Structure 1
Amino acid sequence: MQRLNQSVDVDSALWREDIAGSKAHARGLARVGVIEQADADAIVAGLDTIAGEIERGEFRWDPVKEDVHMNIEARLIELCGAAGAKLHTGRSRNDQVATDLRLFCRRRGEETIEALSELAAVLLDRAADEIDVLMPTYTHLQRAQPSRLSHHLMAWQEMLWRDRGRLEDALRRLNESPLGAGAVAGSGYPLDREGVAQELGFSAPMRNSIDATASRDFLMELASALAILGVHLSRISEEIVIWSSYEFGFLTLSDAFATSSSMMPQKKNPDVAELVRGKSARLIGGVTTLLALEKSLGLGYGRDLQEDKRPIFDAFEDALQGLRALTGALATCTFNADVLRRALDAGHVCATDLADYLVLQKVPFREAHHVVGGLVREAETRGVQLGELPADVLGAAHPSLGSPEVRSALDPEAAVERRRLVGGPAKERVLAEIEDARARWKV
């Protein structure tokens, strides 16, 4: 039972937040006259001593004392005597742990947002540096239309921007203080909930004591945001794996972010991307754990909630590891511009532009689509690319294709520059989007 009952091996990670909450609570008790100021000062000094012991690795965590709260309180009483025994006045471990978790999530959430910004900065720098590198876009993993590498990197950045917004929204909602909610029905002491909330950086006290102690939807929301982030990192990683293969050769990872095979000396494996891709499974699992944990709990604290910490602790750690690893990998990789450009020379990537050319000559789109489809089949039969078909073949397919101007529709560089609409890959448009993104991210 002791092994099942104790949680200090996990929740000791909350020690910073537990000490911060206890210091604010002690000062609040003194402000309303529940304890003497001298006792509050002794408590705060004792908690500072404990913080130093933990930082130096001198603090002994005792599983018999169950959790982070009782371990710290027991040591405080050793240091401060009767003053330390007054700390828990007007407080329950129920509102205490809820406060600790919100403070922890706020801190780790801000760290995650900072790591997101660092990855975004690398993507924006690489997008600016590689602005003249052209490449095909893909659908169904088949070459689709001409674009530029910077346009693709900016797509990755846009996904991360939405991840940042989800995290910021979640942090704003969780930033209310449970302290003073007690075990479930509040406190009969004249506690200064507003002052304590302000000292801890919360926007306000939580409005309902039952909700304050029993609800963990803030963990589910954060875990969901982190899981979506994990899926985005996994998608980026998948493309790194594909692009770094011999079959594609679009990028080369630096040796610091790849490994060799233990058997095959020619191998350079994209381990960084595969490991990050694997982490996304754990992030998705964390959401499932938290949802299942609370789905059948009535209102009021239940001991089931002891299991709410490991999933969110792991989720933050996995997300931060993934962000930092990809930041390093993308900052140091080499994009192989010649290979990327040569990929436009196959796959008939200007077929859509040829159809658009016909439409501009007043040909109905469906007819244009049919004509160009026939030309693609002819090119395949001849073993050439669409742009390599002779002029007489183009003219025979449709009179409008007999003009010399049609060759511009089959030029990948010209095709990219024609796409100047918002969100398009034209150089001028992508450069403007890079500057807009720098302003949004403040990087």
Structure 2
Amino acid sequence: MSDTTAFPDPTYRDTVLAPLFEGVKTHYAEHMGALNRAHLVMLAETGILPRADAARIARALRDIDTETDIAALSYTGAHEDYFFLVEAELRRRIGDPGGALHTARSRNDMDHTLFRMALRTRGEALAGAVHDLTAALIAKAQAEAETLVVAYTHGQPAQPTTFGHYLGAAIEVLLRDAARLDAALDGLEFCPMGAAAITTSGFPVDRGRVADLLGFEGPQINSYGCIASVDYITGLYSAIKLVFLHLGRVIQDMQFWSAFEVGQLHVPDSFVQISSIMPQKRNPVPIEHLRHLASVTVGRCDTMVGTMHNTPFTDMNDSEGEVQQAGYAAFESGGRVLALLTALLPACSIDDARVRRNIDAGCITITELADTLVRNEGLSFRQAHEIAAATARAVIARGVALGDGHAAFAEAFADCTGRAPSLGAGEYAIAVAPETFIVRRDRPGGPALAALLPALTACTETLAGLRARRTARRNRHRAAAGRLDVAFAQLVET
């Protein structure tokens, strides 16, 4: 039976406090050290603490950081959490002044600052991986700008396009997702420190100084919101979710395109596993791993957003320790997706022979025949469409390729118009050739080189802008770490 007279109850200790302690060791100890140093520097600079007392605390913090093997610590229950363990060690070393470090702050503003620091580290790494994937896809799209593929709608062969054009569409979505992720990362760049429990402090704290030393763009203004708002969590995980939801659709196409019956996407041997019993089978199982890992990542993001649903607009554990730690799994699985897809998709190739067979079998250039009849024969589109449809039915019934179907076309044309077409066999063959289909679609957004290459150049420029923003944030974080080291060292030497 649990001892109900002393804190912590053994069951509470083992099920809640000990796991939280392990999480802090893993995810937050480094950030807590920086936060302690920044807060102490501010207390000394504002005169809230006498500089001599602050210097004693600084030297003790330095020694604790140097002498403590954080990974070897285990939770004993002697102190409620890692925060209180550090404070107790300060007081053991320098007496009651060690408790002065907590002046004008609370675990509330500390926790949300630590969470943001941990999230921005992971978020910047994930954004970098998204940028790397985007760059790899742009390079692949440029290399495959003239490579024919069959485009599908409703699961059926629809029209010819190029692999570069298909990838260009995926790239534009990925760039929009990257922009949403970038905006969410910007949302992490405001510091809750100084909000204290929820209403700031009666001490003359310099919130801007702490934010600067920790690499934030500035303090988050409303102190209630510093503690109660969770949009930095919901916004970030929503942005992450969309990356993998949308990539999952491309991954699903890769599965379909590489199927034996379609066969237009060839996965290289280095990414293929052979059946243990059926030696003829080439199983592109990395695509399956990509699909389920992307789905797992989406689910982990949904868990984070869903956990915040219908929670009170105040300080609450629903948005803190264990919840935050659970969310980091999304970065792990998402990072694996990005790394694998960056390696796999550029290594794949298009089977031109299979593509051309599928183009012929599906008569998917027939739309251009209708368009040609409108331009060359002066027909309405509807009449031209009827002739094209009749031509497709006839060549399929006769088992001939569309390019060899001029006779069937001439019959359909005469039946519909009462006259012979002016389009000869050679002109007809050109009209239904997939290369003609592509080159004539040169309007903005089309697959023709004249349209596609400028679009890919614009994508490259957009990516460069996102990378520059990420670099600026990372430079600010690194510069702040340098300023903190200098300010803290000066305090130690006082």
Assess same fold via TM > 0.5: yes
Deviations 1:357-410 (A, max 9, x none): 222243222222222222222222212233321333354244474412333221
In the alignment, is the contact (CA less than 8 A) between 1:234 and 1:280 conserved in 2?
yes
TM superposition shift of 1:251? 3.1
1:304 and 2:318 equivalent? yes
Taking the aligned partners of 1:146 and 1:309, their CA distance within structure 2 comes to 47
Moved more, 223-232 or 4-13: 4-13
Please name the residue that 1:438 is paired with.
Answer: 460
Counterparts of 2:57 and 2:368, CA distance in 1: 74
* Contact kept? 2:39, 2:210, Cα under 8 Å: yes
**Where do residues 364-403 of structure 1 align in structure 2 (5 Å cutoff)?**
364-391=380-407, 392-397=410-415, 398=417, 399=419, 401-403=421-423
The equivalent of 1:240 in structure 2 is: 254
Pair 278,29 (structure 1): closer, same or farther in 2 beyond 3 Å:
same
The counterpart of 1:420, out of the listed 442, 462, 465, is 442
Aligned-pair identity (%): 34
Equivalents in 2 of 1:47, 1:387: separation in Å? Answer: 80
What is the Cα deviation at residue 281 of structure 1? 2.8
2:304 maps to a residue whose letter is L
Q: Go from structure 1 to structure 2 and tell me whether the alpha carbon gap of 1:367 and 1:32 turns closer, same or farther (over 3 Å shift).
A: same
The structural deviation recorded for 1:81 is: 5.8
Range with greater deviation from structure 2 (145-154 or 393-402):
393-402
- Residue 148 of structure 1 deviates from its aligned partner by 0.9
Q: Distance in 2 between the 1:230 and 1:440 partners?
A: 20
Following the alignment from structure 2 to structure 1, what is the Cα–Cα distance between the partners of residues 305 and 374? Answer: 52
**Match of 2:161, SS?**
strand
1:362 corresponds to: 378
Q: Residue 60 in 1 paired to residue 80 in 2? A: no
Q: Which residue of 2 aligns with 1:332?
A: 347
Give the direction of change, closer, same or farther, for the CA distance of 1:104–1:418 in structure 2 (3 Å limit): same
1:212 to partner: Cα distance: 0.7
1:187-206 matches, within 5 Å, as: 187-206=201-220
Which structure carries more relative contact order (alpha carbon 8 Å, separation 6+)?
2
Counterpart amino acid of residue 121 in structure 2? R
CA displacement 1:77-129 (0-9 Å, x = unmatched)? 56666564332221111111111111222222211111111111111121222
Partner Cα separation in structure 2 for residue 19 and residue 49 of structure 1: 12
Q: Which runs of 5+ in 1 are unaligned?
A: none
Cα distance in 2 for partners of 1:251, 1:52 equals 55
**Cα separation, 2, equivalents of 1:38 and 1:142:** 77
In structure 2, relative to structure 1, the CA distance for the partners of 1:14 and 1:363 (3 Å cut) is farther
Counterpart CA distance in 1 for 2:158 and 2:64 is: 62
| Residue in structure 2 matched with residue 253 of structure 1 by the alignment | 267
Q: TM (normalized to structure 2)?
A: 0.81
Structure 2: distance between partners of 1:157 and 1:276:
17
- Cα deviation, residue 278, structure 1: 1.2
Quick one: structure 1 residues 317 and 52, their matched pair in 2 at CA, closer, same or farther if it must change by over 3 Å? farther
- The alignment's C-alpha RMSD in Å is 2.7
Q: How does 1:210-249 map to 2 (within 5 A)?
A: 210-249=224-263
TM-score by length of structure 1 reads 0.90
Deviations 1:394-427 (A, max 9, x none): 5424447441233322111011000111111002
Q: Report Cα offsets for 1:163-199 as digits up to 9, x if no partner.
A: 1110111122232111011112221111110111122
Which whole-Å CA distance do the structure 2 matches of 1:288 and 1:58 have between them?
31
1:435 deviation in Å? 2.1
Kept after mapping to 2: 8 A contact 1:136/1:145: yes
Is contact 2:403-2:428 (8 Å) kept? no
Are the structure 2 counterparts of residues 165 and 37 from structure 1 closer, same or farther at C-alpha, using a change threshold of 3 Å?
A: same
Residue 3 (structure 1) aligns with = 14
| More divergent stretch after superposition (193-202 vs 379-388) | 379-388
Report deviation, 1:49: 6.0
Which of 288-297 and 151-160 deviates more? 288-297
Q: Note closer, same or farther for the CA distance 1:127–1:51 as it changes in structure 2 (3 Å cut).
A: farther
In the aligned structure 2, how far is the partner of 1:133 from the partner of 1:147? 8
Counterparts of 1:234 and 1:71 in 2: how far apart (Å)? 44
In the alignment, which residue of structure 1 is the partner of 2:181? 167
Q: CA 1:375–1:73 in structure 2 vs 1: closer, same or farther (change >3 Å)?
A: farther
Moved more, 185-194 or 126-135: 126-135
Residues 225 and 85 of structure 1, relative CA distance in 2, 3 Å threshold:
same
Is 1:410 matched up with 2:432? yes
CA distance in 2 between partners of 1:49 and 1:250 (Å): 63
Could you tell me how far apart the structure 2 residues matched to 1:81 and 1:416 are?
79
Output the amino acid matched with 1:326. L
User: SS of 1:87's equivalent?
Assistant: helix
2:299 alignment counterpart: 285
Distance in 2, matches of 1:224 and 1:203, equals: 22
Contact 1:133/1:340 (8 A) holds in 2 = no
Q: Deviations over 1:24-53 (max 9, x none)?
A: 111111111122445545555655666667
3-state SS, counterpart of residue 221 of structure 2: coil
Distance in 2 (CA, whole Å) between partners of 1:299 and 1:279 is 33
The SS at the match of 2:160 is: strand
Higher mean C-alpha displacement, 133-142 vs 308-317: 308-317
**Structure 2, gaps ≥5 residues long:** 1-11, 468-494
Distance 1:70 1:138, change over 3 A: farther
